[in-house]
Amino acid sequence: MDAPVFKGIFTQQAAIPEEGITAALAVLRSGRIHRYNTLGDEPSETALLEKDYAEWQGAEFCLACASGGQAMQIALRAAGVSPGDTVLTNAFTLAPVPGAIAAVGGQSVLVEITEDLVIDLADLERKQAQSGARYLLLSHMRGHLADMDRLTDMAARLGLIVIEDCAHTMGATWAGTRSGNFGLAGCFSTQTYKHINSGEGGLLTSNDPDFMARAIILSGSYMLYDRHGAAPAEQAFEAPRLDMPNMSARMDNLRAAILRPQLASLESSILAWNLRYDAVARHLAGCTALVLPTRPPQGRFVGSSIQFRIPQTDGPRAEHLLERWKCRGVEVKWFGRPTATGFTSTHHDWGYLDRQDLPRTDRILSGLFDMRLPLSFSVEDCDVIGRILVEEAVWTESARSSPTRPSAPAGPGPE
Ligand SMILES: *Cc1c(COP(=O)(O)O)cnc(C)c1O
């Protein structure tokens, strides 16, 4: 049988919609790129994006920021985190999360994860008791949602202020509630590899007017906070207006202009991602070597990437399999590498944190693989990818149980 090689590019995103390109050109022609550079009562594209996003998210307030990382830093500071304060966060996340905690002088205490790649609630309770932490920056890493009913109950019981990192859950819901609406604030990223793409960018949402007034001042609003699209009433700014430092983390009109049409079509992008996820997952579900995390029925996920585990793998075997997948054009990332590679890093690479003992997370990460599913891939492409993932994994497994194990990729597998 043939052994197809996949030709797609894993870092190729979908093009910006024509409407966004037209809107971006209008901003460029006007020269008014800064969000506060408006004429008369004209709302800026940034203010309009804030209004659109608040509406879409079902949150009262929204602030557009320079990045998702900046949204988290502002959120932590506006929530009251002071230098030296402990902030709990799940150990499986992206570097900007512990980075945001460090930026506000916080001390990250990392919480173990489960086999389903979500925060381990028992360990959360334990670490909260040990540290006395008042803050949880909950990262829905790669779109995996914890049991948000149990989590919010626990947070209320422990007096934890929850800020959600929704970089991979823009558009996801738990029991009908949008991710980002469970705690004090939701932080979103519009960086190129997330669900809407402006190169860099972030959005912060909340229903708390005092929190949002502080956040808006922190973002660098000067005294122009009345030019925001989804801000609290004037009186909320009276207390914080002179107390909050200007952190200069604003979004600009060019980025907002290309984001608004993408937001308008986000729902169809989500459906498209989930078709692609399912096309890959179908193959993996029939393969005992590759274990997909369980996604509970209460969650509505956005399948913009896929993760799977090979529970009993070791370094050489994982490297061998990665190489075989790569030979067939399928780029897979692995969280078990001893050092950070590209975007993929673990808590062992975050040398500015106190060393933390996370045996369960380490065991899970050592067998955890990860792949983007950009919308530039067709569903048929994803079907081919799923097939290649399984064929090579099965081939490697059967080679392992035979007496002579190949030490290097030897071309396409037997089937
Ligand atoms: C991308 C990302 C962020 C924020 O990233 P920015 O590049 O700062 O926008 C936060 N958390 C996770 C899990 C991410 O993947």
pLDDT in tens, 27-72: 999 999 999 999 999 999 999 999 999 999 999 999 999 999 999 9
* Active-site residue identified among 51, 127, 194, 326: 194
Q: What is the mean pLDDT of residues 220-232?
A: 95
Q: What is the mean pLDDT of residues 269-283?
A: 98
Using alpha carbons, select from 399, 348, 344 the residue that is nearest to residue 372: 344
According to DSSP, residue 1 is labeled: -
Give the Å distance between the CA of 194 and the centre of ligand 1.
Answer: 8
Nearest ligand 1 atom to the CA of 187 is 10
CATH number of 18-264: 3.40.640.10
The pLDDT assigned to 404 comes to 53
188's CB contacts (< 8 A; 6+ apart) are 53, 68, 71, 166, 167, 170, 180, 194, 202, 203, 204, 205
* Structure confidence by residue, pLDDT tens digits, 349-403: 999 999 999 999 999 999 999 999 999 999 999 999 999 999 999 988 787 776 5
Q: Quick one: what percent of the chain has pLDDT higher than 90?
A: 89
> What is 266-401's CATH number, 3.90.380.10, 3.30.2420.10, 3.40.50.1000, 3.90.1150.10?
3.90.1150.10
The pLDDT assigned to 415 comes to 39
Q: What is the mean pLDDT of residues 180-198?
A: 97
pLDDT, averaged across the chain: 94
* Cross-strand partners of 135: 87, 161
201: left (phi over 0), alpha (psi -120 to 50) or beta: left
Nearest ligand 1 atom to the CA of 139 is 13
Q: What is the mean pLDDT of residues 304-329?
A: 95
Q: Is 51 a catalytic residue?
A: no
Looking at per-residue confidence, does 84 or 339 come out higher? Answer: 84
Domain ranges, ordered by start, for the chain: 18-264, 266-401
Nearest ligand 1 atom to the CA of 141 is 13
Residue nearest to atom 5 of ligand 1 (CA): 68
Give the helix ranges, DSSP H, for 242-378.
253-264, 266-285, 315-327, 359-366
Query: Pocket of ligand 1, candidates 97, 164, 302: which has the most ligand atoms within 8 Å of its Cβ, to mutate?
Result: 97
Tokens of 210: 């005092």
